[in-house]
């Protein structure tokens, strides 16, 4: 279980919490990762926001992140249009449609783990504004719905783009069970999410949480 940081927005506290959470993920055995991915897919698919969505912006998990491959295939099998990100040189995200496992190719970027990205036509960074639900990676979410990302800023840009466009998709973070914590450090640009899906179920948030 990860201990909660003090109630502050000191960047060093974010960095310390990120290191702690990443170390905990790296310690997970392969069997646990596979089982968690299957359970996470079941939890996420139970969300009405995904069941009713026509377009879902998602991502391909890497390393010891909560696995998304089962979920991506289940969403596609359910007739959803699934958008996957393509990392741009400035860390912003372009998008392309997921057409199944064969439509992914490995891409290596300096400073990043090898990524699996869609090979189809690029739709542009604004494509995410047409999604009914956006699945966000993260390292933790607190009981107010505030998300701690990995610090690269890509999804901060996505959330800012949604806000500028007046788009209001459901925002859902995919995590392991013990990554839902009491509080994470926050900054003015951070956005709360509506729900988090974990292998054991779903946690929802309200504005007063």
Residue 6 lies in a domain: no
Which residue range forms the structural domain that includes residue 135?
11-204
In this structure, the strands spanning 93-97 and 170-174 are: unpaired
Residue 128 lies in a domain: yes
Question: How many domains, the chain?
Answer: 1
Residue 2 lies in a domain: no
Stated pTM of the model: 0.90
Radius of gyration of the chain (CA): 16
209 residues of the chain, pLDDT tens digit each: 343 433 444 568 888 999 999 999 999 999 999 999 999 999 999 999 999 999 999 999 999 999 999 999 999 999 999 999 999 999 999 999 999 999 999 987 766 668 899 999 999 999 999 999 999 999 999 999 999 998 888 999 999 999 999 999 999 999 999 999 999 988 877 889 999 999 999 999 864 44
CATH number at residue 199: 3.40.50.10420
Residue 1 lies in a domain: no
Q: How far is CA 114 from CA 64, 106, 108, 155, 196, in A?
A: 13, 6, 5, 18, 26
What angle separates helix 30-45 from helix 69-77, to the nearest 10 degrees?
30
Lookup result for tokens 């604004």: 126
Residue 143 lies in a domain: yes
Residue 119 lies in a domain: yes
């Amino acid at each position: 279980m990860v201990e909660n940081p003090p109630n502050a927005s000191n960047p060093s506290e974010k960095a310390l919490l990120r290191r702690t959470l990443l170390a905990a993920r790296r310690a997970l055995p392969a069997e646990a990762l596979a089982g968690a991915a299957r359970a996470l897919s079941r939890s996420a698919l139970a969300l009405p926001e995904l069941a009713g969505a026509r377009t879902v912006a998602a991502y391909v998990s890497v390393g010891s992140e909560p696995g998304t491959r089962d979920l991506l295939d289940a969403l596609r099998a359910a007739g959803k249009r699934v958008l996957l990100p393509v990392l741009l040189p400035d860390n912003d995200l372009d998008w392309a449609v997921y057409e199944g496992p064969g439509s992914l190719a490995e891409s290596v970027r300096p400073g990043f783990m090898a990524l699996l990205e869609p090979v189809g036509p690029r739709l542009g960074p604004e494509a995410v504004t047409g999604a009914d639900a956006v699945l966000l990676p993260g390292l933790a979410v607190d009981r107010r719905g505030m998300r701690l990302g990995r610090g690269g800023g890509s999804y901060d840009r996505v959330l800012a783009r949604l806000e500028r466009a007046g788009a209001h998709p459901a925002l859902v973070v995919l995590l392991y069970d013990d990554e839902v914590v009491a509080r994470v450090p926050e900054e003015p640009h951070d956005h709360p999410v509506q729900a988090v899906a974990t292998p054991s179920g779903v946690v929802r948030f309200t504005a007063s949480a």
